[in-house]
Structure formats: structure tokens, C-alpha cells
Amino acid sequence: MTVAGWLTIAIFALLLTALAIPLGSYLAKVYTGQRVFLSPLLGGPERLLYRLMRVDAGREQDWKSYAKSLLLFSLAGWLLLYLILRTQDAFFVPHALNPLGYHSAPWNVTFNTVSSFVTNTNWQYYSGETTMSYFSQMAGLTVQNWLSAGVGIVVAVALVRAIVSRSGKGIGNFWKDIVRTVLYVLGPISVIGAIVLLSQGVIQNFGSYLTAHTLTGATQSIAMGPVASQEAIKLLGTNGGGFFNVNSAHPFENPNGFTNFFEMLLVLIVPAALVFMYGRMTGNRRQGYAIYGTMMVMFLGAVVVAYVAEAHGSPAQHAAGLHTHAIAGSAGGNMEGKEQRFGIAGSALFDVVTTVTSCGAVNSALESFTGIGGAVPFANLSASEVIFGGVGTGLYSILLYVLLAVFIGGLMVGRTPEWLGKKLEAREIKLAGLGILVTPLAALLATALATATSGGRASISALGKGPQGFSESFYAYLSQSNNNGSAFAGYTGLIQPNAGNVGAHGVTFADLLGGFVMLFARFGPIVFALAVAGALAGKRVTPAGLGTMRTDNPTFAVLLIGVIVLVGALTFFPALLLGPVVQGLTGHLY
Amino acid sequence: MRREIVTSLLAVIVFTILLGVVYPLVITGVGQVAFPGNANGQKVYVDGRLVGSKIIGQSFTRPVLETNGKPKEEEGELVTEPDPRYFQSRPSATEGGAYNAAASTFSNRGPNDKATEEADAEQAKEYLALNGPYDPGLTVAEIPVDAVNTSASNLDPEISPANASIQAHRIAAKRQLPLNVVDGLIGRYTDGRGLGFSGEPGVNVLELNLALDRLTGGAR
């Protein structure tokens, strides 16, 4: 461990908070229809988009109508993306958009990929530079990076609106929300982000792959592509699907220590700001601070564990006689699967940043993390995306937990639970409970299926290597059900003997199971969250009395952490013990 | 309902044009005008010949020759060995040979995997064999981890300063340069931490080797 490492973590937390507070105020204005500094510039395009899409932006929707628009929009996106990916080598696609002449990936892998991008998961069985044409990457995958992020954000916004609404059943207009999200929120930050990344060495071109003649006379082929535009939104929208196979570990996606820091900020800025937006919109900013504090405590805990574990080194390194402590000119640690320019701290922090959110980008090989270091992403995923979480997803997920915590608190003091002046009744609690259970249900059932059947075991690369094989499978379905997308990358669903998909075939079991898990665990909780919104909208508000439990102080934050940890631990502990915990407790090699 | 379906389809198409075509093209335009070197991959030319990208790692190995002077092959693949006149990059396990930048891949070596230990031990042995003769007293325990472990991308352009200073002894001897000259070059091609705190310092191997070639008039 190094001083610079700890400093990175501290500065990151402070800077994130400092940037997220003003952005939260901005978001509150955007979603309550107030003028912002970008309105003069974007008002015209906004109205143009409404006209092109034939949207009546003034119409309020109730939760059912809102959910219907959202599901139809996602379905349309799914169909178009499937079409684009399956026709990437069709006769009508110009050569410049597919300069390497890559065939489409098989149908089963494409089913998985499309479901993955539409659900903001970005789980990738394919490897970008040997599978996808430039057109598929930019007009197919990148578009869903924007839209799936937008869908997550608008659900959170609709839920918050319902919580604070005083009358009526309306929770906003889906089309207006998604257009404003793209234009006012994701658009400006993404453009600035892409330009900053360009200035640091992220590539952006449509050239053929380079052929270099190295100093010692060998040839090296170097993949190219329009990377910066996709990189910025991939991080900002907590999507995580890399242009290249190795994602943000690739020097063309993440060239130096500064970009690594900047990319982590891009990932967390919107999820963090949404929490402050929530505080603003409730009219009591401390409501936001309590939730932010809850998230930050769990986040920092995860970072410390990951950093210490990775700096310690792995049993394999020690058995080989390597010394892993820091020496002059080398920070030591478990450098297997990590880049020199990021070091241990930059890798551990990135790992936590992208697994607490639904981002799932990686800048180091999770499969090579130590048992305990690897248990951290497991734990983050087990918390079901409430530690900041995906854009929007994080806020609506933790608000469901807040509901549960208020309910449990109410039971403890023996009063009807109240939240922001609204009485919580059986319907809301049932819906929130169901919403919380969807993800663990999908994760555990799929893992059980995948480890108990030979079809599922066909995907495991560490088969017969002790707990690592189980860890791989478990992580695969935990990640897909949380719409995260990071992977213990040995787990495979595409056999691709040659670049360009010549002779490639998918592992149907893993492809389909994963695809359905992602769709179910994405749209299930969304529908429940919107249903909760419907139940809360227009509920009568009674002024807080002496016996009202406060939800804006540290005591409540502690209760909330307790509920989250308890639910996560009770659900996932047995499975975690079989994989990463065993590996962390033993120095034994398999 | 019908109106919602029409709006869904229109929205997806309009967004695809805006976000999937206009946005990437605008960024491409900005990149090609404002940062053409970066946007095209920081290509490095020597005498008009493209030798690689500044930020993509590459191998500095040469073919092993048979006693009859022909390159040795095993199962149709050229057998290579580190070229001792050049600083060596980190080990790489991309498919189709080390540092294949057309197919980046993780090594996926598990922390409790016997195969990982064997790969580490083998790599440490090779490192000792290459550098030990020029740096007597070098032991496995002193080898920096980055010299033995594969990177995440397997395309890491950098090595740790500690790794470079061990290799400096060999380079100085092979190129008949004073050690302090080689160490000075290492210092010049070491990239510091981002913003002064983010990440670890690293030595850019390609730039360093190019500087060596310039200094000694090629690899002699």
C-alpha cells in the first residue's frame, strides 16, 4: 500500500461529493420543468424531438401508462438492436462501416448481447475487436448505452415525484423525461467526457487495423475504431460494455492514471447526484444526505477491503517465491491481471466503483483478484445495486429499501410507519418487498441451474479447479441479474476460433439463461418500483408529529445499512461461502 | 396503444440517428481536428516505417536460430527469445502470440490456481536467467511483481521503474553504455502518476528502446 494509493481514494470521495451536490440541484430543476442555463440552447432541439416522435409532452401519465411506454420503448430498442447486429455483414452495409468484413455473431450470442445492452447490463460474451463492426458498435450498442441509462434514470425520477406529490395520480410523462434526460443530462456530460478522453489518448477513427513492424522485426496488428464516443457514455450511463475485449484495461480506452481517475468520476457522478436531487425534491436536503451517507460508508468499506487484500498479494505469487510488498520503484501487490499505470489502488478503486454501480466496466482482471479482493465485487453485487447503484436504478432500489427500513422501524416502535408524511400501508410494503426479491431470486436460481447441469458447466473455464469454477458461475449470474456486466472473464458463452466470427458458435444454455435473467431482473424491479410510485402518488400528507420516526439523520442511516446488509447477507451468504470465501481463507492451490 | 407503438418506433429511430450517427461523427470530427495524433492511436514511425503505437505494448523478442542459421520452428510457430539488447515488456498471454493488439484478452489466472504459480515461477526463472548474469546477487524475491505477472490487457505499454532499473544492468553491458546513462534514459521515459497521485509511475518500454536505438545508432 502506498500513500498515493490512500490519497487517491480520499480525493476521489471528496471530489465526487463536491461535484454531485451542484449536479443534484441541476437535476432537480431539469425534472421539475424549471429553466436551467442550457434551456436557451436546448429548448429548440427538445421541441423538435417531441414533434418528430409525435409526443404530447404536457400529458401526465399514471404509473401503468408510464410503465407501458417504458416497456414498449425498450422492446422497440431491443428489436432494432437485434436487427443491426444480425445484419452487420449484409449486402447493404457500406464497406467503411465494416472495414474488416466481420460476420454477425451467432443468434444465441446476439440474443444475450441485445438483452444485455437494453437492460443496461452490458454483459459481453463477445470480444469487441474480433466480433463487432464499427457500425454495430456506434449505431447499435452505443445507442442503447444512452437509452438504457435514460430508462433507469426516469424510473427513479418518477418514483421521487410520486413520493413528494400532493395530489393526483400522475407521475410525469415518460417521453418527456427520456428526451430531457438525453438532452440535458447525459448529452452535455458525455460530449465533454469524450473530448477530455480524446485529449488524453483515447482513439476515435474509422481506420482499418494498423500493421506495425516492431523494432525486432516482428509484425503487430493493432485494432482501431471510434472508441472515445462510446467510452464516455459507457461510463456515464453505468453501462460498462467495452469497445475492446479487455474493456477499460485497454490503453486505447484508458490511457493513463488521470483518465482512470476521470473515468471513475464519470461512473459515479450521476448516481451520486440523483441522491442529492432526491433531497432537493423532497424539500429537505437532509433526506438526501442520510441516503448519501449510507451509500458512502458502504462504498468506502468495500474500497478499503479490496485495496488491502490486493496489496497483500495472492497465494499463487507467494508459492512461486515472489515478494509482494512495496519496494523502491514498485508498489508490489497482486499485479496479475493489473496494469502498471493504474497500480493496485487504481485497480481496486475502479473495481469497487464499477461493481457498486451497474457499470461493470473493468480495468483489471477480476478473475485474478485474490479471494478476499474478489469477494468485494461479490458483496457489492449482493447488495443489489443500492450502494450508488446504476444510474437511476441505484436510487429507486435504495428507496425500496428505505420503505422497508421505515416499516421495520415502525414495527419496532409500534406505530403506523410514515415516510415523508405519507402513511405506509400493506400494498406499498408488499410491492417493495417483491421488487427487492426479484434480483436475488433470479441470481440464485440461475446459478443453481448453471452449476447443476452439464449444459451450464460447459461455460466454466476453471472446471475442476476447486471453488474458482463455482465463483465464475455464481458471479456470471449475479452480475447479469444485477444488470452489472462485469465478469470473471473465464466464463464463456461464445466459442470463436477466428476473428470476425468465422466458425463461431454460442453456448446456447448460458446465452439464453443469461439473457432471460437480465430481462427479468431489469424490468421486474422497474415495474414494481413504478407500482410503488403509483401507490404513493397522491397519498394524503399529514404533518410530522412527535412520534414520527425521522428518516434524515444518522440513526436512520444506521438502520438502513442494517436492513441492506441483513437482506443481502441472509440471501447470499451460503452461496458466497462456497466460492470466494473459501478461496480467501486458504493458501491452498488447486 | 397504437399511438404509443408508433411513438416507440419513431423514438428509437430518431435516437439512433442522433446518438448513434451524429454524436460519434461529431466526436470523430473534434478528435481528427483537435487531437489527430491521439485519435489515430499515437503512431510511432522510424524512417517512415510504422513501428507501433506509443501507448500499446509490444514484444522485443527475436527468432531463435538453429545451428544451421535457420529460424527455429515448433509446430509451425516461430520460437522466439527476448532480445537482450532491448528492455523487455511485461509477460503477455494474448492469443496468436504475445502482444497481439488485434485481440486483447485477460489471462484469467486465478489467485489460488496451481497453473498461476507455475506460470509465475517459470517467468521468474526466465527473468533471472536473462538479467542475473549482469546483476549478480539478483534473487527471485527481488524481482518486481510486474515483471512476472501478466497485465490486465496483456498490452501494457509500461513496466515499473524497479523492473527497468534491474534490466538497465543488462542493457548497459550489451550496448556498452555507462549505467548512469541508461538510468537517465529510464528517468526521462518514466510517466509519473496522474495529477500527482492517481496510479503508479511507469516506464514506457517502446519509447525507452527507441531512445536507446537513437543513442547507439540502432540495436548493436
Burial class of residue A413, CB neighbours in 10 A (0-12, 13-18, 19+): exposed
Q: How far apart are the first and last CA of chain A?
A: 28
CB of A219 within 8 Å of a chain B CB? The answer is no
Residue B218 has pLDDT above 80, yes or no: no
Distance CA A588, CA A397 (A): 38
Which pLDDT band, with edges at 50, 70 and 90, does B66 fall under?
A: confident
Q: Do A200 and B38 touch (CB under 8 A)?
A: yes
pLDDT of residue A479: 94
Residues of B within 8 A of A465 (CB-CB) are 110, 113
Tell me the pLDDT tens digit for each residue of A536-567. Answer: 998 988 887 777 888 999 999 999 999 999 99
How is B140-154 classified by DSSP, letter by letter? Answer: GGGS-GGGTS--SSS
Q: Do A212 and B219 touch (CB under 8 A)?
A: no
CB of A449 within 8 Å of a chain B CB? The answer is no
Which amino acid, A224?
M
User: Is-contact A211 B41, C-beta < 8 A?
Assistant: no
Tell me the pLDDT tens digit for each residue of B93-111. Answer: 998 889 999 999 999 999 9
To the nearest whole Å, the CA of B141 is away from the closest chain A CA by: 5
Residue A108 has pLDDT above 60, yes or no: yes
Distance CA A157, CA A164 (A): 11
Residue B213 has pLDDT above 90, yes or no: yes
Distance CA B89, CA A507 (A): 35
Residue A371 has pLDDT above 80, yes or no: yes
Structure-block grid coordinates of residue A524 = 421486474
CB of A460 within 8 Å of a chain B CB? The answer is no
Q: What is the mean pLDDT of residues A420-435?
A: 93
3-state helix, strand, coil in chain B (%, to 5): 45, 15, 40
Tell me the pLDDT tens digit for each residue of B4-63. Answer: 999 999 999 999 999 999 999 999 999 999 999 999 999 999 999 999 999 999 999 999
User: Is-contact A479 A123, C-beta < 8 A?
Assistant: yes
- The pTM (predicted TM-score) of the whole model is 0.96
In what order do the strands lie in the sheet containing B158-159? B158-159, B202-204, B190-191
Residues of B within 8 A of A339 (CB-CB) are 151-153, 156, 158
Residues recorded for chain A: 590
C-alpha separations of B114 from A73, A462, A465, A467, A588 in Å: 49, 11, 9, 13, 9
Q: Which of B12, B21, B165 sits opposite A329 (nearest CB)?
A: B165
CB of A336 within 8 Å of a chain B CB? The answer is yes
Residue A397 has pLDDT above 60, yes or no: yes
One-letter-per-residue 3-state SS of B83-124 = CCCCCCCCCCCCCCCCCCCCCCCCCCCCCCCHHHHHHHHHHH
Residue B220 has pLDDT above 70, yes or no: no
Tell me the pLDDT tens digit for each residue of A465-522. Answer: 788 889 999 999 999 999 999 888 789 999 998 889 999 999 999 999 999 999 999 9
Q: Do A7 and B197 touch (CB under 8 A)?
A: yes
Residues of B within 8 A of A202 (CB-CB) are 38
Q: Which residue has the higher pLDDT, A156 or A372?
A: A156
Nearest-Cα residue of chain A relative to residue B56: A251
Nearest-Cα residue of chain B relative to residue A585: B112
pLDDT of residue A582: 86
Residues of B within 8 A of A177 (CB-CB) are none
One-letter-per-residue 3-state SS of A22-33 = HHHHHHHHHHCC
Query: Apex CA A238: angle with CA A235 and CA A242, to 5°?
Result: 55
Residue B81 has pLDDT above 90, yes or no: yes
Nearest-Cα residue of chain A relative to residue B11: A53
3-state SS, residue A108:
helix
CB atoms within 10 A of CB A208: 12
Which runs of E-coded beta strand occur in A192-256?
Answer: 210-213, 219-222
Which pLDDT band, with edges at 50, 70 and 90, does A105 fall under?
A: very high
To the nearest whole Å, the CA of B145 is away from the closest chain A CA by: 6
Q: Which residues pair with B81 in a beta bridge?
A: B62
Q: Which of B32, B156, B194 sits opposite A260 (nearest CB)?
A: B194
Structure-block grid coordinates of residue A201 = 489518448
pLDDT of residue A71: 98
pLDDT of residue A383: 85
Tell me the pLDDT tens digit for each residue of A27-79. Answer: 999 999 999 999 999 999 999 999 999 999 999 999 999 999 999 999 999 99
**Around A57, how many Cα atoms within 13 Å sit in the side-chain half-sphere?**
16
Residues of B within 8 A of A221 (CB-CB) are 100-102
Give the alpha-carbon dihedral of A435, A401, A72, A70, to 10 degrees. Answer: 160
How is A443-479 classified by DSSP, letter by letter? Answer: HHHHHHHHHHSHHHHTT-TTTTSTHHHHHHHHHHHHH
% of chain A with per-residue pLDDT over 90 = 83
Residue B194 has pLDDT above 90, yes or no: yes
ipTM of the complex: 0.97
Best CA proximity match to A335, nearest among B18, B162, B39: B162
Which pLDDT band, with edges at 50, 70 and 90, does A286 fall under?
A: very high
Residue B72 DSSP label: P
Q: Do B148 and A334 touch (CB under 8 A)?
A: no
Q: What is the mean pLDDT of residues A361-390?
A: 90
Residues of B within 8 A of A490 (CB-CB) are 108
CB of A14 within 8 Å of a chain B CB? The answer is no
Q: Give residue for cell 472508441.
A: A227
Continuous H helices in A202-256: 227-236
Q: Count contacts between A and B (CB, < 8 Å).
A: 428
Nearest-Cα residue of chain B relative to residue A50: B11
Tell me the pLDDT tens digit for each residue of A136-165. Answer: 999 999 999 999 999 999 999 999 999 999
To the nearest whole Å, the CA of A295 is away from the closest chain B CA by: 23
Tell me the pLDDT tens digit for each residue of A171-191. Answer: 999 999 999 999 999 999 999
Residue A588 has pLDDT above 90, yes or no: no
pLDDT of residue A440: 93
Q: Do B61 and A211 touch (CB under 8 A)?
A: no
Best CA proximity match to B113, nearest among A365, A583, A578, A475: A583
Q: Do A255 and B148 touch (CB under 8 A)?
A: no
To the nearest whole Å, the CA of B83 is away from the closest chain A CA by: 8
Tell me the pLDDT tens digit for each residue of A208-249. Answer: 999 999 999 999 999 999 999 999 999 999 999 999 999 999
To the nearest whole Å, the CA of A321 is away from the closest chain B CA by: 6
Q: Do B34 and A198 touch (CB under 8 A)?
A: yes
Q: What is the mean pLDDT of residues A9-13?
A: 98
pLDDT of residue A97: 85
One-letter-per-residue 3-state SS of A503-551 = CCEECHHHHHHHHHHHHHHHHHHHHHHHHHHHHHCCCCCCCCCCCCCCC
Q: Do A330 and B40 touch (CB under 8 A)?
A: no
To the nearest whole Å, the CA of A442 is away from the closest chain B CA by: 26
Distance CA A145, CA A239 (A): 6
Nearest-Cα residue of chain A relative to residue B119: A320
User: Is-contact A261 A247, C-beta < 8 A?
Assistant: no
Q: Which residue has the higher pLDDT, A418 or B158?
A: B158
Residues of A within 8 A of B104 (CB-CB) are 127, 129, 223, 244-246, 249-250
Nearest-Cα residue of chain A relative to residue B109: A368
Distance CA A478, CA A474 (A): 6
Residues of B within 8 A of A583 (CB-CB) are 111-112
Structure-block grid coordinates of residue A582 = 473459501
Q: Do B103 and A129 touch (CB under 8 A)?
A: yes
To the nearest whole Å, the CA of A226 is away from the closest chain B CA by: 7
Distance CA A408, CA A522 (A): 26
C-alpha separations of A165 from A170, A401, A422 in Å: 9, 20, 10
Nearest-Cα residue of chain B relative to residue A70: B8
Q: Which of A8, A340, A490 sits opposite B160 (nearest CB)?
A: A340
Q: What is the mean pLDDT of residues A249-260?
A: 98
Structure-block grid coordinates of residue A172 = 410525469
Residues of B within 8 A of A222 (CB-CB) are 41, 52-53, 56, 101-102
Q: Which of B24, B53, B200 sits opposite A331 (nearest CB)?
A: B200
Query: B80-82 and A422-423 as β-strands: parallel, antiparallel, unpaired?
Result: unpaired
Distance CA B154, CA B98 (A): 8
Helices (H) and strands (E) in chain B, counts: 7, 9
Q: Do A316 and B110 touch (CB under 8 A)?
A: yes
Interface test with A, best of B149, B195, B204 (most A CBs within 10 A): B149
Q: Do B55 and A252 touch (CB under 8 A)?
A: yes
A486: left (phi over 0), alpha (psi -120 to 50) or beta: beta
Query: B61-63 and B73-74 as β-strands: parallel, antiparallel, unpaired?
Result: unpaired
Q: Do A327 and B105 touch (CB under 8 A)?
A: no
What contacts A466, CB < 8 A, 6 or more positions away? A582, A583, A588, A590, B112
Distance CA A566, CA A145 (A): 32
Question: Which A residues in the span 16-75 are in contact with B, Cβ-Cβ below 8 Å?
Answer: 49, 52-55, 68-69, 72-73, 75
pLDDT of residue B219: 66
What contacts A440, CB < 8 A, 6 or more positions away? A384, A481, A571, A572
Distance CA A404, CA B71 (A): 70
% of chain A with per-residue pLDDT over 70 = 100
Residues of A within 8 A of B150 (CB-CB) are 336-337
Residues of B within 8 A of A2 (CB-CB) are 200
Tell me the pLDDT tens digit for each residue of B121-155. Answer: 999 999 999 999 999 999 999 999 999 999 999 99
